[in-house]
Structure 1
Amino acid sequence: MKFLKILALRGPNIWTYRPVLEVWLDIGPLEDSPSNLIPGFYERLTAWLPTLAEHRCGIGEPGGFLQRLREGTWPGHILEHVTLELQTLAGMQGGFGKARSTSVRGVYKVAVRSRNEKVSIAAMHAGRDLVMAAIEDKPFDVKAAISHLRELVDAHCLGPSTACIVDAATERRIPSIRLTDGNLVQLGYGARQHRVWTAETGRTSAIAEGISRNKDLTKQLLTSCGVPVPEGRIVESAEDAWEAAEDIGVPVVVKPTDGNHGRGVSTELMTRAEVEAAYHLADAEGSEVLVERFVRGNEHRLLVVGGKLAAATRGETVSVLGDGIATVRELIDRQINSDPRRGEEEEFPLDVLLVDKNPAVRFEIERQGYRADAVLPKDVSIIVQRNGNVAFDVTDKVHPEVAAAVSLAARIVGLDIAGIDLVAEDISKPLDVQGAAIVEVNAGPGLLMHLKPAEGQPRPVGKAIVDSLFEEHETGRIPLVGIAGSSGKTRVAKILAKFIQLSGSHVGLACSDGLFSGQRQIDKGNCATWSAAQKLLMNPKVEAAVIENSFSTILAEGLGYDRCQVGIVTNIEPEKHFGEFYIDNPDQVYNVLRTQVDVVLGDGAAVLNAADPLAVKMAELCDGEVIFFAKNSELPIIKDHLKQGGRAVLQKGSGLVLTSSLCKILLTNPAAKPVAADSVEPLLAAVAAAWALGISPDLISAGVKTFTLEQADA
């Protein structure tokens, strides 16, 4: 099994709307060895990957793929399913997969859904090795392969907080672009974009973030606005910490001013020894140390998004109970770390308590008179962690006055998204009646505790963030026109860009002649590519985009956008495309170019050449309206289309006519030079697209009147 080529199709493609990894696979002599003719293959493969039983292939229900294995199927198809399953077991869901033979015997195209191409490439290689090991009856370490893939998922895929925001945007059909290998993501296109980075957005003020990191300054601002906070002050030394504790009155809390995740925080400190020891813990975590009044109650984290409470969780202290035999360390492992909700990876709602790596845990144990390796007497219970376990959902219990208080706190600091740490005995009661207080306001709060609480209902916090950025009717989309076909695409693109510019929008153009933002050329050379389209859509100045897509771009990269308002197919000349990518018949050419029509939005339009039978055939694929263009107004398809209430743009003498069952608008072209015969169809297509975009006939007419062939070819 040899990989001839690996293609990362990052946008809509011939397989699906979503990014896929496509591999050209040469199985050589295995073409004569379907799975049912390889002794022991079925047993070995299913023993290594028993979850293949869930694959529905063929019959549409679990067990379908295994049935195909027993009946006999080929390595390309098997590799597809094995790769998908390895991705799933590694924590990166796939779902879509296809394997198709080419015109060359033994050569297949295998495609699998790819949320990250680095992970998918590794999974494809691991899948090939696993399938070959099963064929040749050789050992294969499935556990090690999955472990390696999981490491890649952790390193290269979006974190759960950012992923939940992107998923929520996708639910609202808001497009997204990952801007880095990390968690910086753009939601929306061009001038209508917003950026998110975990739980921070383009609206998150740097000043507000700086204030939130300074806990003492935060408390001052909250106090001045009447928000209850525990009194306290910054201290300079362990001795100063004890003096502050005496002034405030024990018990107190000692913590770093700029720490996070509860690191370096010690609570309910009563003695000088405890306070001074806690000072050193806090000093190791942050730049300054704060001593403040201890507020009795449970720690809570309330998430405020766009001025509204989105979710709330409660924390609990963690204790172990002695049996007179086991050490404290052993009891922690047995009674706490054995909880399946605990783990070192981010996906777990609760952390594993590692005594040797957590000074705060050792401090808690020692302040109660024990050591980690000491045996805890029978029926004696000690606290091993007082904070950091905020993962029990209480959103529905939050009192309205509490919700108002945390919303105010977020506004005072200036954060659009804030994690408010609050200590209260009962979150269902107002703060003032129980002496509760807000102890911290955090920027960039973690979302996992709300997405996957240890107990209680998960909260749609990603949706809350997306809804705070985009109004209910907004999709984050700009008018976007995609152009495909065998010829004339660049002329159509440049004429249409001119029409859009006349309408007053800043237009971006990506075509074979370069990349343009308004009148400025950004890149030269062929820019009818995925990467050029992405550059255009990242530009916050672009209010409308015109993007040319070459035949090879669709096959090698996929479209540079997920959906478009207008999709144009200029014409289809199958023979021009034979010979590349194993394309050798008209049906295959049609299936490539139909991609442009497949991605037209439901409220958009496909602009199709009525004189081209293959282009006309694509009309049935369009989710939106269809507008035909043609030099010959007598074509039967035009007449039928108009009778059914459709629209068309036609040549009429030396002018053009925009026609429908309701109206006819004649546009003349008294240009100094008449339109050349080979430019009529590109002009018709551009006019039809402008009409579909809602550009007024007067503006279109102005564009047509000033059109020259030199402008289109410049």
Structure 2
Amino acid sequence: MTEDQPVADQPIGQLKILQTRIYRGPNVWSYEQAIHLVVDLGPLEQFPTNTIPGFTDRLLAALPGLEEHTCSRGHRGGFVERLREGTWLGHVAEHVALELQQEAGHDMRRGKTRGVKGEPGVYNVIFGFFDERVGRAAGELAVRLVNHFVLAGDDFDVERERETFLLAAGRAAFGPSTAAIIEEAVSRDIPWTRLNQHSLVQLGQGVHAQRIRATMTSLTSALAVDIAGDKNLTTTLLGSAGLPVPKAETVRTADGAVAAARRVGHPVVVKPLDGNHGRGVCLDLRTDDQVRAAFDVAEAQSRRGVVQVESFITGKDYRCLIIGGRMAAIAERVPAHVIGDGQHTVAQLVDITNADPRRGVGHEKVLTRIRVDDAAVELVAAQGYSMDSVPPVDEMVKLALTGNMSTGGISVDRTFDAHPDNVEIAEEAARLIGLDVAGIDFICPDITAPVRETGGAICEVNAAPGFRMHTHPTVGEPQFIAKPVVDLLFPPGSPSRVPIVAVTGTNGKTTTSRMLAHIMKGLGRKVGMTSTDGIVIDERLVIKADASGPRSARMVLQNPRVDFAVMEVARGGILREGLGYDRNDIAVVTNIQPDHLGMRGVETLEQLADVKAVVVEAVPRDGFAVLNADDPLVRRMRKRCRGTIVWFSMEPAGSAVREFIDERCRRGARAVVLETSDRGEMIVLKQGRRSMPLAWTHLLPSTFDGAARMNVANALAAAGAAFAAGAPLHDIRQGLRTFTTSYYLSPGRLNRMEVNHAEVFVDYCHNPPGMRMLGDFVESYVERRQGATDHRISRIGMIGAAGDRRDEDIRELGAIAAHHFDVVVVREDDNLRRRAPGESAALIVEGAEAEMAAGARCRQVVTVLDELDATRHAVHRANPGDVVVLCVDQHAAVLAELEGFTHQANAGTHTDEEQPGDPDLDPRELTTEAAQSSAADDDALREALDGLEGPQA
């Protein structure tokens, strides 16, 4: 079908944005940051572009740049071909959003549109962005434009809307100076982060980070900035060093200015002592009246009300840019002016000049529009013209006396024309003031001749000088002056990034992260770590929250103490915002298990694996991915990794998985495996044909003599990551041998306490796979202890499930627990996650009782919804020597409660309800004989009391 064919129905409806997500790093859709719109076409799903009369022509007339889009065709005009053949409007919105960003000066070409599975007419629209605010605005305007071109609205003005968007984009954009430095940093693979809505930017990460604000850097001295801001002090310092400067005095009154001008000698310059951008500067003043009038102008621009009067130096205006004490560029600044053509008036010539697309408002473009104010009109009059006069051909009419770019001036590159003596003077001036980046303003007849001979002087030293006159000169070659600035901050060969290890998976990622951080701490590294418990900087918890998302990662990378980062990466953060950084040097994937299914569009284990694989895809070619070879879904991720694979496996030698690993190791791969002997299990590092014994598993405190198999797996993953990070073997070994599951090193992860002579373990276990591993630990641990005691060890488990899990997952949690515990105490989280009170607990009980009916170990299920009440109940049920496992939500509160039990026990204080109970005693199973005996005892006691006399009773 073509666009000219008749249409059966008139298109109705509009695109609607259902959801907007901002991915600030690699994500499930793209390797780079992107914006994700979920749009609903509604009835417009039935109307591809070739069925909407005139749609393509209207769209191209408004956005002709779309003709350059290649789309999937791979050649210019490919997208237009798709439009005329017929494509859906969600796809059109993607390209319009990209084109709007192109018009705003952001070169974005990445995008894709995919339908939402199972929802006809609903599409995922993904496109790249440079600035988040501009990208979001482009997406919203793109949808509105598409709706307008489908069915025009009376109240929608395309040009007005686009102009509003471009103005907002201009306000959000970096200035030319900041943009130049960022572009140079990006070309060197130096990461950058915008720290506010203006020009404060961090370059680099962690301990290597440097900051810039426009052209001020982390190395810029605040004292030097203050000195440069005081023009009188600057002149005094430079003059005392023998550098050419004008005579100058500071005044606070108009009369003082007149008197100073007489002492200095006319003509003079009057300017604010602490002004900038040439505002308030009045030149070539020859009479007392002119000086008096100029004082008011300068005082209005002075922050402290102090005005400087200095001798007027005749000549051209040159800006010498000094970076790191060396001359980087020189530009001749020509004041704002127009050139007569014999046909147009001065006012018309100004309009023609301002029509130059290079000119904008303020610093948004490389040139600034000429502003006609009273001072400009007076200057034109002084030259013998009015704004309505027609100047002769080639006649130059000035509209400003100063050559500042911000007042409409232009620049001519003179970098290679300056005389060496003049360059030396400018460099010495910057060193005297102490600025790392300085703009030295020279006034002299000719920069090619020595100013000491021809006359001239340094009239100002500027901190944070603008770069655009050098990077975008009106005449001459641009100078790449951002390079020496970045060299100053990051000398060639110096690092700008800290190593980043991203740890993900369903279970074990927090403990693996902590093990790795502990190993690297032993090497003297300052480790920044994110986890579900918070942000830890050099073993100090600085923020207590679920910090496994991208925002927490960025906080770690901004901390100036961090020289090694370990990021726990959760599924939710990846889906919500991406990784939050551009790449990770090492990715660790522990396992993929059925948890969080049915949330955010993730319905299957394969889809969950695709989400987790983002950290593997973010590994560069010189990086590593530490993958669990025992998990088929994790094993497949090797195809997504550009770097080197480090395998880890719990499987014994001779198994299919070990054969898989050994075959790859023979070809030079790396692996961490278990080797079994009569002395136990040894963790072995393999690289190529080399095997390096690391540690016996039963000697690692976190494994509880090897019973905690999940921590054996976590130790393998942590060892593999540390090995990939370059840690020596003896430091990895020492780290694993000293890492314990104490509350101080691993809060909420298999913490062991002794309470009322019972062993209590506190763990965060909250999903069926985790419960299965925890139950296996309990089985192994109790079995080892049972052989050393005659009394039967009972097992009491307190469990709970997050309310946002599927019903079948919550039931399965209870079913698994029923196979490992004699008594199951069911609690609920404080955050019910949109479930009714008791609903999650009832599902757990349902799952446990179903298994009990089938012969599971559990003898009793008790529901105590409050976590602390459930903790007390579970502990009270335990006899000395029993094992209590508390699966907690708020581990700090539970540990504090357990500490209270311990203190009471040490003090010998117990209430009746605190006396140990018997988990084997189920009140519902009391025999008739026992019940009768208990009743008989009660009757006898009652009769005895009745026989006593009143006072005695």
Q: TM-score when scaled to structure 2?
A: 0.71
Who is 1:343 aligned against?
360
Residues 88-126 of structure 1 deviation map (CA, whole Å, 9 limit, x = unaligned): 223333221111112122221111112233322222221
DSSP 3-state at the match of 2:572 = helix
Residues 594-621 of structure 1 deviation map (CA, whole Å, 9 limit, x = unaligned): 2212222333221111223333333343
How far, CA to CA, are the matches of 1:76 and 1:327 in structure 2? 50
Q: 1:218, CA displacement in angstroms? A: 0.5
Q: 1:187, CA displacement in angstroms? A: 0.9
Who is 1:543 aligned against?
563
Who is 2:150 aligned against?
135
Who is 1:443 aligned against?
463
Q: 1:296, CA displacement in angstroms? A: 2.2
Q: 1:45, CA displacement in angstroms? A: 1.7
> Residues 52-201 of structure 1: matches in 2 within 5 Å?
52-104=66-118, 105-138=120-153, 140-201=156-217
Gaps of 5+ in 2: 1-14, 752-953
Residues 300-329 of structure 1 deviation map (CA, whole Å, 9 limit, x = unaligned): 112222222222211124555779997654
Distance 1:314 1:590, change over 3 A: same
> Residues 492-511 of structure 1: matches in 2 within 5 Å?
492-511=512-531
8 Å CA contact retained: 2:430, 2:461: yes
Distance 1:28 1:382, change over 3 A: closer
Q: TM-score when scaled to structure 1?
A: 0.93
Read off the aligned partner of 2:203 and give its amino acid letter: L
Read off the aligned partner of 2:713 and give its amino acid letter: E
Q: Which moved more, 1:11-20 or 1:211-220?
A: 11-20
Equivalent in 619, 632, 641 of residue 664 of structure 2: 641
Distance 1:319 1:444, change over 3 A: closer
Gaps of 5+ in 1: none
DSSP 3-state at the match of 1:110 = strand
8 Å CA contact retained: 1:274, 1:367: no
1:31 aligned onto 2:77 = no
Who is 1:219 aligned against?
235
1:305 aligned onto 2:336 = no
Who is 1:18 aligned against?
32
Read off the aligned partner of 1:102 and give its amino acid letter: V
8 Å CA contact retained: 2:269, 2:283: yes
Residues 391-425 of structure 1 deviation map (CA, whole Å, 9 limit, x = unaligned): 22222223333222222211111111111111122
Residues 330-349 of structure 1 deviation map (CA, whole Å, 9 limit, x = unaligned): 55445x54555443242333
DSSP 3-state at the match of 2:19 = strand
Distance 1:456 1:592, change over 3 A: farther
* Higher RCO (CA-CA < 8 Å; seq separation 6+): 1
Who is 1:674 aligned against?
705
Read off the aligned partner of 2:615 and give its amino acid letter: Q
Who is 2:646 aligned against?
627
Distance 1:524 1:343, change over 3 A: closer
How far, CA to CA, are the matches of 2:392 and 2:478 in structure 1? 38
Who is 1:597 aligned against?
616
Residues 269-309 of structure 1 deviation map (CA, whole Å, 9 limit, x = unaligned): 33333333323322222232222222222111122222222
How far, CA to CA, are the matches of 1:292 and 1:382 in structure 2? 26
Equivalent in 612, 629, 632 of residue 613 of structure 1: 632
Aligned Cα root-mean-square deviation (Å): 2.4
Read off the aligned partner of 2:309 and give its amino acid letter: V
DSSP 3-state at the match of 2:416 = helix
How far, CA to CA, are the matches of 1:280 and 1:137 in structure 2? 55
Q: Which moved more, 1:114-123 or 1:556-565?
A: 114-123
Q: Which moved more, 1:425-434 or 1:495-504?
A: 425-434
8 Å CA contact retained: 2:23, 2:576: yes
Structure with max Cα Rg: 2
1:6 aligned onto 2:20 = yes
Who is 1:291 aligned against?
309
Read off the aligned partner of 1:651 and give its amino acid letter: L
8 Å CA contact retained: 1:92, 1:153: no
How far, CA to CA, are the matches of 1:68 and 1:332 in structure 2? 44
Equivalent in 394, 401, 419 of residue 421 of structure 2: 401
8 Å CA contact retained: 2:21, 2:36: yes
Q: 1:183, CA displacement in angstroms? A: 1.3
8 Å CA contact retained: 1:513, 1:527: yes
How far, CA to CA, are the matches of 1:367 and 1:272 in structure 2? 18
Who is 1:49 aligned against?
63
Q: Sequence identity of aligned pairs in percent?
A: 39
Equivalent in 683, 701, 714 of residue 656 of structure 1: 683
DSSP 3-state at the match of 1:395 = coil
Q: 1:246, CA displacement in angstroms? A: 3.3
Equivalent in 234, 245, 248 of residue 232 of structure 1: 248
Q: Which moved more, 1:66-75 or 1:614-623?
A: 614-623
How far, CA to CA, are the matches of 1:518 and 1:381 in structure 2? 65
Who is 1:206 aligned against?
222
DSSP 3-state at the match of 2:705 = coil
Read off the aligned partner of 1:347 and give its amino acid letter: E
Equivalent in 366, 371, 377 of residue 354 of structure 1: 371
Distance 1:591 1:457, change over 3 A: farther
Residues 517-567 of structure 1 deviation map (CA, whole Å, 9 limit, x = unaligned): 122212223110111111111111112110011112111111022122211
How far, CA to CA, are the matches of 2:169 and 2:503 in structure 1? 35
8 Å CA contact retained: 2:518, 2:739: no
Distance 1:263 1:176, change over 3 A: same
Read off the aligned partner of 1:442 and give its amino acid letter: N
How far, CA to CA, are the matches of 1:596 and 1:5 in structure 2? 24
Who is 1:278 aligned against?
294
How far, CA to CA, are the matches of 1:330 and 1:238 in structure 2? 37
Q: Which moved more, 1:95-104 or 1:238-247?
A: 238-247
How far, CA to CA, are the matches of 1:417 and 1:151 in structure 2? 30
DSSP 3-state at the match of 1:313 = strand
Who is 2:729 aligned against?
697
Q: 1:377, CA displacement in angstroms? A: 7.5
Q: 1:268, CA displacement in angstroms? A: 2.7
8 Å CA contact retained: 1:343, 1:351: yes
8 Å CA contact retained: 1:91, 1:150: no
DSSP 3-state at the match of 1:396 = coil
DSSP 3-state at the match of 1:12 = coil
Equivalent in 247, 266, 271 of residue 282 of structure 2: 266
Residues 66-94 of structure 1 deviation map (CA, whole Å, 9 limit, x = unaligned): 10111111111111001111222233332
Residues 201-231 of structure 1 deviation map (CA, whole Å, 9 limit, x = unaligned): 1111111111011001001111122222122
Distance 1:30 1:601, change over 3 A: same
How far, CA to CA, are the matches of 1:38 and 1:491 in structure 2? 57
Read off the aligned partner of 1:646 and give its amino acid letter: A
